[in-house]
Chains A and B, each alone.
Chain A
């Protein structure tokens, strides 16, 4: 019997780790939503774009090489260098900041004071654009991303738990790294938005544009800052997911898993994104483990959405979201 109990525990642990990865994507959504009231549908594609760019830069791929070769009849593909991971990440971050600037300059600057639904539609357009851009720049094939993160089973943990309980826990090293990174990211971002000057300006802009202007806040600057931070979070998520399952189109679909996470955690809460991610991660693994067999398996595909639906009925603002108060 303890065998099964340990197995359940292992399932929970793995669920927590998977949840962290969901939370990472959800975090990107929350940041932009809090600061600009925009629900950024393109967050997942941004992660894909960031990961593809990182791979491209590290491998010394020539961006738009297919396009260039087709137009000029040349045959260039690689610069022939290989860039270390850390430098590659920094360069990619530069690209994400530029993207933030461009998105603000060419799209959202022209949509100030529009309805949220219009802004939302714009982000859908942005998602398709980025998807195409990513393919055009770096090619659409499956790429492997190796930034030197440890992978595979954590042997020490397996050994220690085996000696202690007679049952070796199987935890992926990458999941452990992802959890630590996510934790650091969340703590930093929460502190930054609560206590720094820019953080306060950020919350101010989210709350009231006019008032923010009247105290001397440049909306453009804040929006570029926010999209840069979202780009950074996308990059981190892209690295983690990319290292786990390769850089490919399906990477952008994981963003859909972030939706139930947000409904649970609340669209405006950074800690909510984390807790929501963990609940979904553990919930779907446990559900599959206990009842999955009876339902023909593959419950992980829909469990999160059903849970979110139940939440929408009973607590529409999520666990940590701001309570919706209507003054009459």
Chain B
């Protein structure tokens, strides 16, 4: 399954997964003398839900930051849509169609939910500064069109009731959902979720899981996510990468990973040599 074939595979629940969308080749990331990621390779295929799991400090978030351009790896290559990606600033990565959420929620607290989600459309707005300043014709039309997309997403994630509320006033679970809405508004080719369920209660977790599955199902969005909650990961994802101490120790379907001895050791805490 991990071979470099262009044709995809069929999941257990019968969804057809496409070719390789993103591939990480031998990524190594160092902070000074500390190796956060050591020689990791894996791919993400079109239409799948790919999870990256591992104990605390395994380097999962670092990996996500490499994909979204926040960290630049010292070694290795990032391939996206069949082309090697040159070193890029995070905003350029976003413009390429990779949207993300953050572990500790990074929303524009002073702005309303609607405005927050609208910022997700920035990469789709093309009219120039002067036209925007005059606010007529093309700029107005564009705003209306983008507003329609945003309203659809707001409906989809069931946050209509709080559209005009300043984000700072929202409870934690809703903030997470607004952040997802903003990422979705970009209509990304790849959606990165950094611990989408961290700090949530059971009910909120169920809601979030449902939204993630619906997003994948409805829009066909490819999703890569990091999660601590093993149960959630196994239910949601099609394939799982397991990391420990910056190294890849497992890769495969949830069932394969569950029965992988190295993975069991990492989670149950067998002494490292």
A195 interface hit (Cβ, 8 Å): yes
Contact of B123 among A192, A206, A216 (CB under 8 A): A216
Given contacts A204-B119, A208-B108, A211-B106, contact A218 B91 (CB under 8 A): yes
Chain B residues numbered 124-151 whose CB sits less than 8 Å from any CB in chain A: 125, 127, 129, 132-133, 135, 139, 143
B94 interface hit (Cβ, 8 Å): yes
Chain B residues numbered 211-241 whose CB sits less than 8 Å from any CB in chain A: none
Bound-state Cα–Cα, A241 to B95, Å: 43
Per-residue contact bits, chain A 59-71, to B (CB 8 Å; 1 contact, 0 not) = 0000000000000
A306 interface hit (Cβ, 8 Å): no
Bound-state Cα–Cα, A206 to B109, Å: 10
Question: How many chain A residues touch the partner (CB < 8 A)?
Answer: 28
B79 interface hit (Cβ, 8 Å): no
A158 interface hit (Cβ, 8 Å): no
A210 interface hit (Cβ, 8 Å): yes
Given contacts A196-B133, A197-B132, contact A215 B109 (CB under 8 A): no
Bound-state Cα–Cα, A31 to B132, Å: 18
* A196/B139 in contact, CB under 8 A: yes
B115 interface hit (Cβ, 8 Å): yes
Question: How many chain B residues touch the partner (CB < 8 A)?
Answer: 35
A213 interface hit (Cβ, 8 Å): yes
Per-residue contact bits, chain A 293-317, to B (CB 8 Å; 1 contact, 0 not) = 0000000000000000000000000
Contacts of B132 in A (CB 8 A): 192, 196-199
Contacts of A214 in B (CB 8 A): 68, 90, 94, 99-100, 102, 106, 183
Contacts of A219 in B (CB 8 A): 91
Per-residue contact bits, chain A 223-260, to B (CB 8 Å; 1 contact, 0 not) = 00100000000000000000000000000000000000
Given contacts A203-B111, A215-B186, contact A197 B133 (CB under 8 A): no
Contacts of B115 in A (CB 8 A): 200, 203
B246 interface hit (Cβ, 8 Å): no
A17 interface hit (Cβ, 8 Å): no
* A211/B107 in contact, CB under 8 A: yes
Per-residue contact bits, chain B 173-216, to A (CB 8 Å; 1 contact, 0 not) = 00000000011001000000000000000000000000000000
A328 interface hit (Cβ, 8 Å): no
* A200/B133 in contact, CB under 8 A: no
Contacts of A159 in B (CB 8 A): none
Most buried by B among A195, A196, A216, A219: A216
Contacts of A208 in B (CB 8 A): 106-109
Contacts of B42 in A (CB 8 A): none
Given contacts A207-B108, A208-B106, A211-B107, contact A201 B119 (CB under 8 A): yes
* A210/B168 in contact, CB under 8 A: no
Contacts of A213 in B (CB 8 A): 70, 89-91, 94
A112 interface hit (Cβ, 8 Å): no
Residues of A within 8 A of B (CB): 188, 191-192, 195-201, 203-204, 206-208, 210-219, 225, 322, 325
Q: Could you write out 13 A-B pairs with CB less than 8 Å apart?
A: A195-B143, A196-B132, A197-B125, A197-B132, A200-B122, A204-B108, A213-B90, A213-B94, A214-B100, A215-B122, A215-B123, A216-B92, A216-B122
List the 6 closest A-B pairs by CB distance, nearest first: A216-B94, A211-B106, A207-B108, A196-B132, A213-B90, A216-B123
Residues of B within 8 A of A (CB): 68, 70, 89-92, 94-95, 99-100, 102, 106-111, 115, 118-120, 122-123, 125, 127, 129, 132-133, 135, 139, 143, 168, 182-183, 186
Given A195-B135, A201-B122, A214-B94, 18 more contacts at CB 8 Å?
Answer: A192-B133, A198-B132, A203-B110, A204-B108, A210-B70, A210-B106, A211-B107, A213-B70, A213-B90, A214-B68, A215-B94, A215-B119, A216-B91, A216-B94, A216-B123, A217-B91, A217-B122, A218-B89
